[in-house]
Homo-oligomer: A and B are copies of this chain.
Amino acid sequence: MNIGEIARRAGVSRSTVSYALSGKRVVSEETRQRIQAVIDELDYRPNAAARALKEGRTRTLGLVIPPASLRLTDMQLGFVASVVEAAARVDLDVLLSPSGGDHDRSFERIVSGRRVDGVILMEIRLEDERVTRLQQTGLPFVTIGHTAHPQGTCWVDVDYATLIARCVHHLADLGHRHIALINRSAELVAAGYGPAQRALTGFTEAVAQRGLTGVDMCCADDAPGGESCLEQLREQHPEVTAIATINEAALPGIQRALERAGVAVPRDMSIAGVAARHWAEDFRPPLTAADVPTEMGNHAVDLLLERIATPDAPPRHLLLTPPISLRSTTGPAPTR
């Protein structure tokens, strides 16, 4: 069931079948229909490898995700889903590469075996050698998140610094004077993980600007982590009345610890976060948060397609600053 078979049965040459399929040259309507009939009958579809070899492109995008051992957050998951969906809409397939390590075989296969036409990189660090590796090879790529030197690359990101600053301002407007930042895990912060670093910067600046006292804490990215982090916070800083956080995964634990301690939200404690929209909505009470649009994956695909089409165009960036959706977890600071 290759193109030769179709050609023989339709009584034409292989090239004619190819042209009938691609439309790159005129084929008489009669011939075209005859060919199509044979194709339908045999359910023929061109061999992807042969086409990729000849055309020099694979019609496949690579998506580099964190290794399976690290559990993905809802937000990251949303990115994956929207990347896959956006790619499917333009008839592209997505090849997954779980790679966090330095010199990953899977990553190398993808980038230097010409298995994909372009790569989307997730969870990048401020200094990320995968980015430099991709720059070497010349393979088009887009990152979700950006490095410390983002000028030369194409990326889409959420402006964590500004978003966390907005959370702080919102809380300050409500009269809160003592605010805590609950950041991502200590390991990530130490590894130079961009969002964690930038959230801290934004927090520190905003707190200083409003003359508040701020305390920042790292917190393991899961429910138990949030729970113990909050216990520690209430013990060491009982004066805190509001929390800003980018740690989605820790929120259920935070919430639970507050409940156990009899601290009502938002009466006794306000929470403003940065999270996936559906996640914030599903949260009880609904979370006041800057809704990170999961469509970021779509944007990443768009940018990547552009870059593949015109590799020499200056790299474009997209820094999103979604507004804070006021829901039910923030309120006026308690009067002592």
Residues of A within 8 A of B (CB): 43, 45-50, 52-53, 58, 60, 63, 65, 67-69, 71-72, 77, 81-82, 84-85, 88, 91, 93-98, 105-106, 108-110, 112-115, 222-224, 227, 252-253, 256, 259, 278, 282-284
Contacts and interface: CB of A to CB of B under 8 A. Distances in A.
When all copies of this chain in the complex are counted, the total is 2
A282 B220 CA distance: 12
A67 B93 contact: no
Contacts of A113: 45-48
A114 B48 CA distance: 6
Contacts of A108: 45
A93 B77 contact: no
Contacts of A84: 65, 68, 96, 98
Given A49-B115, A81-B98, 9 more contacts: A48-B109, A48-B115, A49-B50, A65-B84, A69-B85, A91-B105, A93-B97, A93-B109, A253-B282
A222 B48 contact: no
B105 A93 contact: no
A47 B282 contact: no
A49 B45 contact: no
- A52, A72, A105 — most chain B CB neighbours (10 Å): A52
Contact of A222 (B72, B105, B282): B282
Nearest to A58: B49
Nearest to A107: B88
A94 B93 contact: no
Nearest to A47: B114
A84 B72 CA distance: 13
A313 to B, nearest CB: 25
B110 A227 contact: no
A93 B96 CA distance: 7
A284 B222 CA distance: 12
B98 A96 contact: no
B93 A88 contact: no
A275 to B, nearest CB: 13
Contact of A88 (B50, B98, B252): B98
Contact of A94 (B69, B96, B105, B224): B96
Contacts of A106: 88, 91, 93
Contact of A67 (B50, B85, B105, B110): B85
